[in-house]
Amino acid sequence: MTHSSTRAAVLDLVRAAGTISRVGLVNATGLTGGTISTVVRGLIDEGLVVETGHAESTGGKRRVMLQLNHFARYAVGVHLDDARITCVLTNLGGAVVARISRACAGEPSGLAARTVDAVIDSVGVDRDRVLGLGLVSPRSLRGWEGHDLGPALERATGLPVVLDNDAAAAAIGEHWAGGVGATSTFAALYMGTGIGAGTVLGGTTYRGPSGNAGEIGHTCLDVDGPRCWCGARGCLEALAGPAAVVAQARSDRALTRAAGLLGGRTRPRTPVSADFAALSRIARQGNPRALALLERSARYVAAAARTLANVMDLEVLVLTGPGFAVAGAIYLPVLRAELDAAFFARAAHPIAVRLSPSAASAPAIGAAAIVLQSELVPRHQGLRLPDDLAAGEPPVFQPSA
Amino acid sequence: MTHSSTRAAVLDLVRAAGTISRVGLVNATGLTGGTISTVVRGLIDEGLVVETGHAESTGGKRRVMLQLNHFARYAVGVHLDDARITCVLTNLGGAVVARISRACAGEPSGLAARTVDAVIDSVGVDRDRVLGLGLVSPRSLRGWEGHDLGPALERATGLPVVLDNDAAAAAIGEHWAGGVGATSTFAALYMGTGIGAGTVLGGTTYRGPSGNAGEIGHTCLDVDGPRCWCGARGCLEALAGPAAVVAQARSDRALTRAAGLLGGRTRPRTPVSADFAALSRIARQGNPRALALLERSARYVAAAARTLANVMDLEVLVLTGPGFAVAGAIYLPVLRAELDAAFFARAAHPIAVRLSPSAASAPAIGAAAIVLQSELVPRHQGLRLPDDLAAGEPPVFQPSA
DNA sequence: GGAGATTCTTCAGTTGCTAAACAAAGAAAG
DNA sequence: CTTTCTTTGTTTAGCAACTGAAGAATCTCC
């Protein structure tokens, strides 16, 4: 057998390239033809890769082209929200094979397990071809997972479960299924109940030591701005997050009526996402006050995005998540303008800003992609992390010799 | 011989730990005792590592402690500024063995080469124990290097030359010689003629695809702020960079006189760093207007630092560079307060803010550290970067089979 | 229908690591 | 002091992954 990390690297290249030959893999990896030959044979034997045809000849034997066998394995992605549960079954390519989305309030473990089973059975996929289950939720709902939702789902479904937050998942999903290259550096700007970002640096997802990397919600955009619940002033979330936008709309009587906003004061637990979607809808239909509100928000988000792109030296920015699914058309041009202008003057490389084609179900698809990635491109090779270097060392030593 | 990346990893662990035994290395790396034994023997034979004594027994044979042989190799670091050239010779531990700093205006290649020779000869170090030369300058002076300063120095000194920018170098220097752990995630906030940051994520320096990672100078702190030369509004550099602070001071007649600021209008090429240093000096001596000016700047820098720490999920922030060398005492408490408050309310992990003990010569020391790192902990193992995945692929292919 | 080019496979040889036995050095107990 | 146990470090054989070079297969061009 071949070294697992090489196998994973080759598989990932096949995925990223879509279609590639053995010679192409030799060039991309730096390995020799012999090694590639062996590794590819193994992948074909496992059914993960298939030969799909021939390239045009360049003067000699035609190259045999390889592709991921998209339907060799599957993964389940579950996205928990403040109001919904969305569950998708994807194939190896990250394409959605089945999808169920239903309202969900309160403790979701039972419902989640039943939804997972339903989604798998709905297309009659063999269960041991399902690699695992990705479970994704906003950081604010982290409580359930930590307790037992993960293990409970693991028991109920028999699938290995991995957890992550929505923004990181969206980024990984974009990296896996989207058109971004294998070594690209980009962020997925995520708007759900809050606003966040998942980051992929040089083809590797960057989470940070405490798993909070990409927390853009508390980017400071005004040192004298309104106080945020986090204690600081002028945070993006307080100025321009979905909750802030909805709050601003609710203080406008006419706008509240036009958008049909769900009441505010009586029930504090109103789903912000629904009101934000309603607001976006009438803005796109031409309501000037809603449009002004969203464009104001977009200006702040654009400034924060510019900072993020600067600091992380990003190449691509993808807008995704339920928020941008409904309001992307309003935010996109504002962000594009901001980033184009800033980088043109400094003669820096341009930053591509894109709207995710599947923004609404991005977190669920991303959750499945995390499973694909962790099962097929696993454990970043290398040495064990020496968290506590001298932890095992006796404290004192006597110089000698 | 053993695999080079393992050798490098072990060497880096010895460096990071200061003093460590073979068993400690086994625990830290996950390798077996046999492998460590072989690798360490090789390192001792090369003279890079020495046995320094014994630890206390934990019930059996005492551990033989290993240390870097600090004086086995040396590296030269050169820092070019708008007004000075600073050159240091460091040993393997990053400790300064010799240092020369002199004024320098205009094209520096001849002077640089002579200074390098002088610094090596001043302590009579054997030239083939000098691993190489790191050359560091602010991004604004990048012109000279790109042309021929690097190759010219290489020819004149006979040493391999590596280039980098000042902020990144400072971060690497802090990582190499400072007390930060081997896998830490931190940024070196650098204040020189401008303000920037070098970032180390999980023990690896992160430069970004275009080498501009950590560019904090154009962090947006006020969407309606003054227009920056970059085209955007409210950039940190325009609001609170050294040049902005000096400009604000110059518009205050009394302050200009008290600080003895070098004239402004006549010669546009006034060294900002000198004026900033003068301002800091009288602020520390109690001048209230200078202090107010710097504290205002510190508030902006603190907000930008908070954003940086949020987005990158940093553990440590080190203030370094000539700017913080003179004004660190004023900025440090403001940054500490800002970061403590923000992270206390969100129950996130605290962020340590430190002032570099050698802030003034940090870039030069960092330049030398880059050489040490690139020679001793080289080439991040792994596959060749597949920049152009399908570059070698014929464009069309015919499906078959 | 060769000749040359290109792709892919096969196989011996090298390398870097592990596992396990062994040797050495000290602590604890009698 | 001797015995026994623990811990540290070294040596050895063996294995798995990769390289390099030779060869087989397939296609184009003349």
| CATH number for B35 | 1.10.10.10
Rounded to an integer, the average pLDDT of A182-208 is 90
Q: Lowest-confidence range among B167-176, B338-347, B375-384?
A: B375-384
Is A277 a member of any domain? Answer: yes
Query: Would you call A342 and B232 a contact, using CB atoms and an 8 Å cutoff?
Result: yes
**Strand arrangement of the beta sheet that strand B186-191 belongs to:** B204-206, B195-201, B186-191, B316-320, B352-355
Is B20 a member of any domain? Answer: yes
**Residue of B51, B385, B389 best to disrupt the A interface, most CBs of A under 10 A:** B389
Is B51 a member of any domain? Answer: yes
The alpha-carbon gap from B364 to the nearest alpha carbon of chain A, in Å, equals: 23
How far: A53 CA to C6 C1' (Å)?
Answer: 17
Which of chain B's residues have a Cβ under 8 Å away from the Cβ of A28? 383-384, 386, 389
Strand D bases near protein CB (under 7 Å) are 5-13, 16-22, 25-29
> With 50 as the cut, is the pLDDT of residue A1 above it?
no
- pLDDT value of residue B70: 93
Which of chain B's residues have a Cβ under 8 Å away from the Cβ of A215? 310-311, 313
Give the CATH number for residue B93.
3.30.420.40
Does residue B30 share a domain with residue B148?
A: no
Per-residue b or e along A107-128, where b marks 16 or more CB atoms closer than 10 Å to that residue's CB: ebbebbbebbbebbeeeebeee
Pure H helices in A203-287: 236-240, 242-250, 253-259, 272-284
Does residue B91 share a domain with residue B13?
A: no
Mean residue pLDDT across chain A: 86
User: Quick check: B317 and B336 in contact, CB under 8 A?
Assistant: no
**What are the tokens at B138?**
């602010």
The alpha-carbon gap from B265 to the nearest alpha carbon of chain A, in Å, equals: 25
Sign of the C-alpha dihedral computed for residues B294, B300, B306 and B307 taken in this order? negative
Does residue A135 share a domain with residue A95?
A: yes
- Alpha-carbon dihedral of residues A319, A323, A327, A333, nearest 10 degrees? -30
Query: Would you call B221 and A218 a contact, using CB atoms and an 8 Å cutoff?
Result: no
- Identify the CA nearest to A89 among candidates A57, A133, A49, A44: A133
| CB contact set of A191 (below 8 Å; sequence gap of 6+) | A242, A319, A321, A322, A323, A324, A327
Is B170 a member of any domain? Answer: no
Mean residue pLDDT across chain B: 85
Residue nearest to nucleotide C18 (CA to C1'): B32
- pLDDT value of residue A394: 55
Rounded to an integer, the average pLDDT of A16-20 is 89
| CB contact set of A318 (below 8 Å; sequence gap of 6+) | A170, A171, A174, A178, A180, A186, A187, A188, A189, A353, A354, A355, A356
CA nearest to A64 within chain B? B397
Does residue B98 share a domain with residue B78?
A: yes
Per-residue model confidence as pLDDT tens digits over B340-378: 887 777 777 889 999 999 999 999 999 999 999 887 776
The percentage of chain B sitting over the pLDDT mark of 70, rounded to a whole number, equals 86
How far: A33 CA to D19 C1' (Å)?
Answer: 10
> With 90 as the cut, is the pLDDT of residue B244 above it?
yes
Is B331 a member of any domain? Answer: yes
How far: B35 CA to D14 C1' (Å)?
Answer: 15
CA distances from A172 to A168, A363, A366, A368, B213 (A): 6, 9, 6, 9, 21
**Which of B55, B209, B310 lies closest to A218 in CB terms?**
B310
- pLDDT value of residue B397: 38
Which of chain A's residues have a Cβ under 8 Å away from the Cβ of B33? none
Which of chain B's residues have a Cβ under 8 Å away from the Cβ of A20? 389-390, 393
Per-residue model confidence as pLDDT tens digits over A78-97: 998 877 899 999 999 889 99
Which of chain A's residues have a Cβ under 8 Å away from the Cβ of B386? 13, 16, 27-29, 182-183
> With 80 as the cut, is the pLDDT of residue B153 above it?
yes
Asked if the Cβ of residue A53 lies within 7 A of any atom of strand C, the reply is no
Contacts of A15-20 with CB under 8 Å at 24 or more apart are A15/A68, A15/A92, A15/A93, A15/A176, A16/A181, A16/A182, A16/B386, A16/B389, A17/A182, A17/B389, A17/B390, A18/A67, A19/A52, A19/A65, A19/A66, A19/A67, A19/B390, A19/B393, A19/B397, A20/A65, A20/A66, A20/B389, A20/B390, A20/B393
Does residue B107 share a domain with residue B48?
A: no
Strand C bases near protein CB (under 7 Å) are 4-12, 15-21, 24-28
- pLDDT value of residue B78: 95
How far apart are the C-alpha atoms of B353 and B53, rounded to whole Å?
34
How many folded domains does chain B comprise? 3
- pLDDT value of residue B401: 33
The percentage of chain B sitting over the pLDDT mark of 90, rounded to a whole number, equals 58
How far apart are the C-alpha atoms of A215 and A364, rounded to whole Å?
20
Is B173 a member of any domain? Answer: no
Paired with A20 in beta bridges are A66
Which of chain B's residues have a Cβ under 8 Å away from the Cβ of A346? 218, 230-231
CA nearest to A8 within chain B? B383
- Identify the CA nearest to B200 among candidates B337, B26, B12, B398: B12
How far: A34 CA to D17 C1' (Å)?
Answer: 11
Rounded to an integer, the average pLDDT of B160-172 is 92
Does residue A279 share a domain with residue A202?
A: yes
Rounded to an integer, the average pLDDT of A272-277 is 86
The percentage of chain A sitting over the pLDDT mark of 90, rounded to a whole number, equals 58
Rounded to an integer, the average pLDDT of A126-143 is 84
Is A130 a member of any domain? Answer: yes
- Identify the CA nearest to A170 among candidates A366, A323, A361: A366
> With 50 as the cut, is the pLDDT of residue B298 above it?
yes
**Which of B52, B210, B348 lies closest to A212 in CB terms?**
B348
- pLDDT value of residue A384: 39
How far apart are the C-alpha atoms of B81 and B322, rounded to whole Å?
10
At B399, the pLDDT band (50, 70, 90 cuts) reads very low
User: Quick check: A281 and A287 in contact, CB under 8 A?
Assistant: no
Q: Give this prediction's pTM.
A: 0.88
Name residue A138's amino acid: P
Asked if the Cβ of residue A286 lies within 7 A of any atom of strand C, the reply is no
Does residue A386 share a domain with residue A366?
A: no
* Nucleotide whose C1' lies closest to the alpha carbon of residue A31: D18
User: Quick check: B360 and B159 in contact, CB under 8 A?
Assistant: no
CA distances from B303 to A314, B191, B200, B222, B285 (A): 21, 15, 20, 11, 26
**Which of A24, A313, A400 lies closest to B390 in CB terms?**
A24
How far: B66 CA to C24 C1' (Å)?
Answer: 19
At B180, the pLDDT band (50, 70, 90 cuts) reads low
**Which of A30, A184, A389 lies closest to B16 in CB terms?**
A389
Does residue A280 share a domain with residue A204?
A: yes
Does residue A186 share a domain with residue A199?
A: yes
What are the backbone angles phi and psi of residue B29, rounded to the nearest 5°? -95, -30
Is A169 a member of any domain? Answer: no
The percentage of chain A sitting over the pLDDT mark of 70, rounded to a whole number, equals 86
How far apart are the C-alpha atoms of B69 and B44, rounded to whole Å?
9
Which of chain A's residues have a Cβ under 8 Å away from the Cβ of B229? 345
Strand C interface, B 32-61, C-beta < 7 A = 32-35, 38-39, 54, 57, 59-61
At A141, the pLDDT band (50, 70, 90 cuts) reads low
Asked if the Cβ of residue A357 lies within 7 A of any atom of strand C, the reply is no
Query: Would you call A383 and B31 a contact, using CB atoms and an 8 Å cutoff?
Result: yes
**Which of B53, B184, B202 lies closest to A397 in CB terms?**
B53
Does residue A118 share a domain with residue A93?
A: yes
Q: What range defines the domain where residue A192 resides? A: 180-355
Does residue A87 share a domain with residue A67?
A: no
Residue nearest to nucleotide D29 (CA to C1'): A59
Q: How far apart are the first and last CA of chain A?
A: 47
Query: Would you call A230 and B342 a contact, using CB atoms and an 8 Å cutoff?
Result: yes
Which of chain A's residues have a Cβ under 8 Å away from the Cβ of B394? 55-56, 58, 63
- Strand residues in B252-393 grouped as ranges (E): 316-320, 352-355
How far apart are the C-alpha atoms of A250 and A265, rounded to whole Å?
10
Does residue B291 share a domain with residue B205?
A: yes
Rounded to an integer, the average pLDDT of B255-268 is 64
> With 80 as the cut, is the pLDDT of residue B8 above it?
yes
* Nucleotide whose C1' lies closest to the alpha carbon of residue B38: D10
